[in-house]
Amino acid sequence: NRDPAMLKALLLLPLLGAALVALLPNRSVDLMRHLASAVAAATMLCAILLLASFDATTADIQFFETRPWNPRVGSHLALGVDGISLPMILLATLLCFVAIFTSTSIRNGAKLYFSLLLVLESALLIVFSARDWSLFYVCWELTLIPLFFLIDR
């Protein structure tokens, strides 16, 4: 079992970035874009570092961590990466970086746009690393909220 600290950083970095973008003044559109791009690039770098330390010779779940969440129904806050979820994590971080980096025409509502993209990225990464049915379901549904507002643009 590998140290799950890199996975936690990968999952929390976009949320931190979304909060920082939300704190910026509305007139700082270029700063929002640069900050969101930097956060997405750092998240992608974390995913690449996860790939570099991933042991492909074993079929076990790596970077595994679990905490009790709702013991009455038997659910845990269980996160981990396997050989199927790792490519999905890499693709999600790449696509989010490209989506943010190429959003040069976004001017109106840029704060909401970039914050929602980063929240969506974090929710997707949790979906791909979830090892518990309830965490998977909650984060899958959580992806629908930013998608609703992003598609509505």
Predicted structure pTM score: 0.92
pLDDT category of residue 113 using cuts at 50, 70 and 90: very high
Distances (CA, A) of 61 to 2, 17, 57, 115: 9, 28, 12, 31
Whole-number pLDDT of residue 121: 98
DSSP 72: T
What burial class does residue 28 get, using C-beta atoms within 10 Å of its C-beta: 0-12 exposed, 13-18 middle, 19+ buried?
Answer: middle
Q: What are the φ and ψ backbone dihedral angles of 2, each rounded to 5 degrees?
A: -80, 160
pLDDT of 79 strictly over 90: yes
Whole-number pLDDT of residue 63: 93
pLDDT category of residue 16 using cuts at 50, 70 and 90: very high
| Whole-number average pLDDT of the chain | 93
pLDDT category of residue 1 using cuts at 50, 70 and 90: low
Whole-number pLDDT of residue 90: 98
pLDDT (tens digit per residue) in 24-71: 999 999 999 999 999 999 999 999 999 999 999 988 899 999 888 888
Query: What is the distance between the alpha carbons of residues 4 and 81, in angstroms, rounded to a whole number?
Result: 10
Whole-number pLDDT of residue 71: 81
